[in-house]
Amino acid sequence: MKSLIQKLVEIPGPSGYESQVREAVKDEVEPYVDEMQVDPLGNLITRKGSGGDKGLKVMLSAHLDEIGVMVSHVDKNGFARFTQLGTVFPRNTAGGRVRFLNGAHGVIGMEVPPSRSAVTTLNKMYIDLGVTSKKDCPVKVGDVAAFERTFQDLGKRMVSKAMDDRIGVAVLIETLKALKSTPHQVFGVFSVQEEVGVRGATTAAFGVNPDLGLAIDTTGVGDTPKSPRSDLALGKGPAIKIKDFGMISDPRVVAWIEAGAKRAKIPYQLDILIGGSTDARAIQLSRAGVPSSGISIPSRYIHSPSEMVDFDDVKNTIKLLVHLLSRPIKLQ
Amino acid sequence: MSITKKKSWNPPKIGRAQISSLEKLSEASGVSGNEDAVRKIVIDEIKAYADEYEIDALGNVLVTKRGSKKNLPRVMLAAHMDEVGFMLVHDEGEGLFRFDIVGGIDRRQIISKPVWVGKKRIPGVIAGKPIHLTTPKERSNVISVDTMRIDLGPGNSKKGKSGDWATFATKFMRQGQTLRGKALDDRVGVASLIELLKNAPPNIHLLAAFTVQEEVGLRGAKVAGYAINPDMAIVLECTPALDMPTWDGSENTLYRTKLNQGPAIYIADRATLPDPRLVRLLQETAEAYDIPYQLRQPGVVGGTDAGAIHLQRSGIPSISISVPARYLHTPASLIRLADWRNTLALVHTALSHITPNTLKGERQ
């Protein structure tokens, strides 16, 4: 499974430009699903199981896209100015490297700030592609790049760019593989444009029209020196979403997940995320409303080129999902 | 997809009639939520050319112009009728009114500006202290809207009331190759869309939406996109150009668009990552026909009706294209005639090249 994770995180796929990741996912899931289609925005929507009298339409959403950059101007000396696709933190950016979808490579530099303590903005940063003129620059306005950082296996923990949310994508793929039978119609949705405002999940949820929705994403933790206040930690199990900045989970869905985790003796944590949101927000607000929550893989250093997750958490998330989806669902 | 120039090519032109139509549209009062005057002009212009039209529940004008046969791509074109402005909120007597801002207007830019209030366009002015009476400290502060008033004068005190809308009182004018007026955002899009309806290419079903309430959050386009449910959408807009030289002579790297460089094709703004297949359609058309164009600098600012339309139902491939303008959302915005001409020519020509294969396959 680690090789699948490595393959997925190393493919570039910034928001709006997910097609390479989508192709890789198609290859993985095709033998394990009953139906597969791509909607007008580029969401890959798969279905497994036909449901019965008591089965539900369950939508699981993991997003294909990652944060990235787009060139906004190439100056006369060949430096490329850029804007963000998704939230890119300037503090995580200088000195980093990017790889363009056309294969070009560059390093991110910044104008010298007025003082050492000054915080810079992306407008004061640029990509240096090793050229000296606009004419020789291998990229132009509109070209898109992802951050470049290889996967590293630290044993129990793994580090890479784009763990947000390729680890969710990997979890969803493995869940569809491991799910031998289900009384439900399970819609595994690999969504686009999450990082720019849960856009793909908005249209996918309309198309699927589910009875129940879950986002499979990463969430921040509070287990590092002077980290933000949070009870979450790596290695303590999947995080069940209670609320985040964009949604409040349906308590019945939370209770259903919690009961499943207890029954299957899978460790879990409760997730109250202060900033950010997930595809669950889009699903919840679709059409006449959908009971929704999320199951998240705890992660350190989110939206940096080195996002860290725990392998036990990953395996437990898959176990929990398979357990939940193998049996009837009664929300109460 | 690859676009080959057709032998006969005759895109609609911008002449005296079109400029005078823009003049009428620019001078009409149509602050978000009160687009009635603009709607009347639009309906007057298009009704002879439309197969059918309707006004929806929010006030959008939805027009159908069918192509030459049944199964053709259904293409939505949208331009918003509303503009930023003001609303009176409290009558203080003697013709003085408290007011609120509707849409995005820089508070620093409104003091002492003449306005037209209400349906009868009663002339007023946003009251400002003259320089004789201000202290240096006051002059370096932004004045809060709470302390400003719209002054209609005691003679007109009964002609305004809370709930009335107000716009900048700007007469439209042509200065050589430049057109100047208020609300060119997005009346120039409205004017273009009228011309496209009058000259609709036969290879598509053209579904036009003259939308309301764009400036307060793309509200009209949301319901219009849902109702029309097209195969694709193109939004005709007007976008800021910050193309003046920098004060220190360094290279201007953040101009968004530049005047006289042709229509600005969107590749990313705050609300939309346009469908790359539609970006290619517009770019390749421009290149095949030698129409100048520019890519609007991508960034996380600005949003158009495409932001609402592309998220409707199961998703609608969308893009925006703008006439670049200086000084938008102020009393006087400027566009270049050539940019408007080229925008109309590019959109019309690209439409004429749309086939069922334009969006074949998956987005990439």
Which CATH number fits the domain that encloses residue B102?
A: 2.40.30.40
CA distances from B329 to A122, A252, B100 (A): 26, 48, 15
Question: Taking 70 as the threshold, does the pLDDT of residue B253 lie above it?
Answer: yes
Q: Is A286 on the interface with B (CB under 8 A)?
A: no
Spatial distance between the Cα atoms of A258 and A236, rounded to a whole number of angstroms? 14
Distance from the Cα of B146 to chain A's closest Cα (Å) equals 31
pLDDT for the residue numbered A275: 82
Classify residue B27: in a domain, yes or no: yes
Q: Where is the domain boundary, B103, B138, B168? A: B168
Enumerate the residues of chain A whose CB falls inside 8 A of the CB of residue B297.
72-73, 83, 141
pLDDT for the residue numbered A128: 98
- Write out the residue range of the structural domain in which residue B284 sits: 16-83+182-352
Distance from the Cα of B274 to chain A's closest Cα (Å) equals 8
Identify which of B308, B173, B147 has the alpha carbon closest to the alpha carbon of residue B235: B308
* B308 in the same domain as B205: yes
The dihedral built from the CA positions of residue B14, B18, B19 and B22, taken in this order, carries a sign that is negative
* B344 in the same domain as B242: yes
Q: Which residues of chain A have pLDDT under 70?
A: none
Question: Taking 80 as the threshold, does the pLDDT of residue B134 lie above it?
Answer: yes
Spatial distance between the Cα atoms of B235 and B75, rounded to a whole number of angstroms? 11
Q: What share of chain B is helix, strand, coil (3-state, %, to 5)?
A: 25, 25, 50
Q: For B194-222, write each residue's pLDDT tens digit.
A: 999 999 999 999 999 999 999 999 999 99
pLDDT for the residue numbered B107: 93
Comparing A274-278, B18-22, B28-32, B269-273, the range with the smallest average pLDDT is A274-278
Q: Is B314 on the interface with A (CB under 8 A)?
A: yes
Q: Is B310 on the interface with A (CB under 8 A)?
A: yes
At residue B1 the predicted structure's pLDDT band, cuts being 50, 70 and 90, is low
Q: Is A87 on the interface with B (CB under 8 A)?
A: no
At residue B347 the predicted structure's pLDDT band, cuts being 50, 70 and 90, is very high
* B214 in the same domain as B164: no
Q: Is B233 on the interface with A (CB under 8 A)?
A: no
Distance from the Cα of B294 to chain A's closest Cα (Å) equals 10
What is the set of active-site residues of A?
A: 194
Give me the number of domains chain B comprises: 2
Distance from the Cα of B130 to chain A's closest Cα (Å) equals 38
Spatial distance between the Cα atoms of A289 and A285, rounded to a whole number of angstroms? 5
pLDDT for the residue numbered A140: 97
Closest CB to B297 among A43, A73, A75: A73
Query: Which of A26, A64, A73 to probe the B interface (max B CBs under 10 A)?
Result: A73
pLDDT for the residue numbered B285: 98
User: What CATH code is carried by the domain that includes residue B73?
Assistant: 3.40.630.10
pLDDT for the residue numbered B316: 98
* B272 in the same domain as B238: yes
Q: For B302-341, write each residue's pLDDT tens digit.
A: 999 999 999 999 999 999 999 999 999 999 999 999 999 9
Identify which of B327, B40, B36 has the alpha carbon closest to the alpha carbon of residue B165: B36
Map out the domains of chain A with their CATH numbers: 2-66+161-325 (3.40.630.10), 68-147 (2.40.30.40)
Closest CB to B273 among A15, A72, A202: A15
| Cα Rg of chain A (Å, integer) | 20
Q: Is A35 on the interface with B (CB under 8 A)?
A: no
At residue A80, φ and ψ (nearest 5 deg) are: -100, 120
Which string of DSSP letters, residue by residue, matches B58-78? TS-EEEEE--SSSS--EEEEE
Percent of chain B predicted with pLDDT > 90: 95
User: 């193109």: which residue's tokens?
Assistant: B234
* B212 in the same domain as B127: no
* B92 in the same domain as B77: no
- ipTM greater than 0.90: yes
